[in-house]
Amino acid sequence: MDAIVVGGGIGGLAAAAFLQRQGVRTQVYEQAPALRPVGAGIVLAPNAVRLLRRLGLAEDLRRHALRVRTGWEFRRWEDGAVLLAQDMARCEQLYGEAAWLVHRADLLDTLLNAVDPKTVHLDHRCVGITQSPSRVEATFEGGARADADVLVAADGIHSGIRHQLVGRLPARDSGLCAWRALVPSERLPARYTAPTQTLWLGPGRHLVHYPVSAGRAVNVVAFTPAEAGATVESWSAQGEPGEFRAEFEGWDTQVGDLLAAVTEVGRWSVLDRPPIDRYGYERVALLGDAAHPMLPFFAQGAGQAVEDAAALATCLADAGGVPDALRAYSAVRVPRTARVQDASHGRATVNHLPDGPEQEARDGAFADQDPLRHSDWLYGYDAQAEARAAVRSGLVASATERATPLT
């Protein structure tokens, strides 16, 4: 079997790594002329880390990333009071893997180590695909073409391949905008570089910070009300540091000290899109943001793309052919990603409660919560095992259908 992967981001490189590990001859086509370090920090939870370990990338991850050791902290916006402190030492006991904090560029470099470098082709923008019963062909800007048994569309939230297959998904304004910044650690007190993910909750907005790049930088991401009519949706869109600081005026001095060190900040609108009911289309599989663009409030965008990649490669290896494999892939991934999307929607509402009875009830409930235990459905999930089960179910159903005479 041979495969084309369109897109050289996290999902595309993970797909290539898993496919090549299964013996599938795989070529990656990325539209950018270079793999630049776009974006900033990523939280890798156990559901993604166990899959990266199976690719042999555990040591690479250890060199670049920070294991979350001291925990997750939820803090109150006004005075820094700790609402919840989760001991992450139990994470490995419960799920067999730790959570890691990593820069997106470092994760891309790690994934590249698992992909044959001769199979990655830059400066190839896909402008269309065509399918026949036995092959699928991609056409690139400038006239270049490539064909294979299966094509993986990992071309992001603005996927042209998804547009061609299912039309443009109507983007709904979430009413929020995102801010993202990286601050060199030397500009900050040492407490900001502790391997902790800290989440500040306040009326209408929240802010998260944690160290990345082996502690050399601190990632800052925040969500605030968006300006009416704002629709720029791009990681490369820029904001003003002064406006960023103004959004959190009056918050605890620890937030103020952190934002005072910000010299450059990205800012973009957070748009929401309805889910689609399948990710496989004959010989084309949608993957990552091309399949299920997510609100970013559950820190699972990268994790779900890695799960997609592992599940797709497993389905293609175990099923009787590409159409059966992609039916199994849809069957296992659509409900999984829909559940994560739904959880992300709920988190935005809970995080942004105004001060008052609901907020007080939320804060009081933290004392009785054990997020690690409650996250079993998320962190204990094995994408490859679930994919194998989906293939077995799908092949049994297909065999039954073929054996049933028409009446």
Place of tokens 């800007």: 141
| Residue 277, burial from CB neighbour count under 10 angstroms (0-12, 13-18, 19+) | exposed
For residues 161 and 284, what is the distance between their CA atoms, to the nearest angstrom? 9
One-character DSSP codes across 139-170: EETTS-EEEESEEEE---TT-HHHHHHH-PPP
- Tell me how far apart the alpha carbons of residues 400 and 406 are, in angstroms, rounded to a whole number: 12
Catalytic residue among 29, 95, 192, 210: 210
Query: In b/e form, how buried is each residue of 305-336, taking b as 16+ CB within 10 angstroms?
Result: bbbbbbbbbbbbbbbeebbbbbbbbbbbbbeb
> Counting every residue, how long is the chain?
407
Burial of 347 (0-12, 13-18, 19+ CB in 10 A): middle
Rounded Cα–Cα distance for residues 376 and 15 (Å): 25
Please state, as a whole number, how many other Cβ atoms lie within 10 Å of the Cβ of residue 375. Answer: 19
Three-state SS string over 126-140 comes to: EEEEEECCCCEEEEE
The encoded tokens of residue 148 equal 């294979």
208 CB-contact burial (10 Å; exposed 0-12 / middle 13-18 / buried 19+)? buried
Nearest to 394 by CA among 304, 305, 280: 280
**CA atoms within a 13 Å half-sphere pointing along the CA-CB vector of 185:** 15
Residue type, 265: V
The Cα–Cα gap between 203 and 191 comes to 25
Tell me, what DSSP letter sits at residue 397?
H
Query: Which residue has 């399948």 as its token pair?
Result: 278
Both tokens of 109, joined, read: 């470099």
210 tagged catalytic: yes
**Residue 371 near residue 298, CB atoms below 8 Å:** no
**β-pairing verdict for 196-202 and 71-76:** parallel
Residues annotated as catalytic (active site), given as ranges: 210
